[in-house]
Amino acid sequence: MTTPQNLIIPSVIETTGRGERVYDIYSLLLKDRIVFIGTPINDQVANLVVAQLLYLAHEDPEKEIMMYINSPGGSVYSGMAIYDAMQLIPAPVSTYALGLTASFGTVLLTAGAKGRRFALPNATVHMHQPLIGGISGQASDIIIQANEMSRIKDRLLDIFVNATGKTREVLEKDMDRDYYLDAYKAVEYGLIDQVLAPRQAPKVLPAGARVALPEGDNKVAAKLDSEKVARN
């Protein structure tokens, strides 16, 4: 990931039987198949994200990749590179919106695997029609750039129609100007599938209760005493 200059990136020391190894926080997340997009999307960000997706898909083509998005969007062309990589790889990509997911960030959010598109409760999701700045030059050049903008707009509409089930007419109307949704409205709109609820406090179990622990290398069932659970 690219990060603003002067931003201190935390490092994590992992201790194993082979000694200690230092990871920057983003590399440690990648180790757990988490890709984080937390900046505007440009060519450099897109190249890094695509490289991470390709690496993780090569490492395990069936295991889920988790993509967290807190981005105001950015270059449509750079974003399309990430979008196409998400569709190309066989590994399912789940997407998570936090903070503000805007513009092309929302395209990536809704491009996650169906049923695996999430938002945190206080996330804001934003859509609008594509913006291409710097249109200038002779009349023929302006026409060429206007046609390109129209092509991109049509392509984005196709993506949102497929992702949300909304009609082109509804989407075109809503995206004509800035369109903001909270996490719950984003579910209703079809941009995401679920809002992640805050973790619930653990409940005290009755005496002698048996708790099935998550399956791992060994399937374990533990008999817990209610007093021990209460102390934990």
Max CA distance (Å), the chain: 81
d(CA 34, CA 89): 15
Catalytic-residue membership of 78 = no
d(CA 41, CA 36): 12
Question: 58, 94, 128, 140: which is the annotated catalytic residue?
Answer: 128
Burial class (CB in 10 A: 0-12, 13-18, 19+), 210: exposed
Catalytic-residue membership of 103 = yes
Beta bridge partners of 34: 66
List Cα–Cα distances, 57 to 18, 112, 172, 198, 223, in angstroms. 27, 15, 34, 30, 39
d(CA 33, CA 30): 5
Question: 11, 27, 103, 126: which is the annotated catalytic residue?
Answer: 103
Residue 203 CB partners (closer than 8 Å, separation 6+): none
| CA torsion through residues 123, 128, 130, 133, sign | negative
Q: Return the active site residues.
A: 103, 128
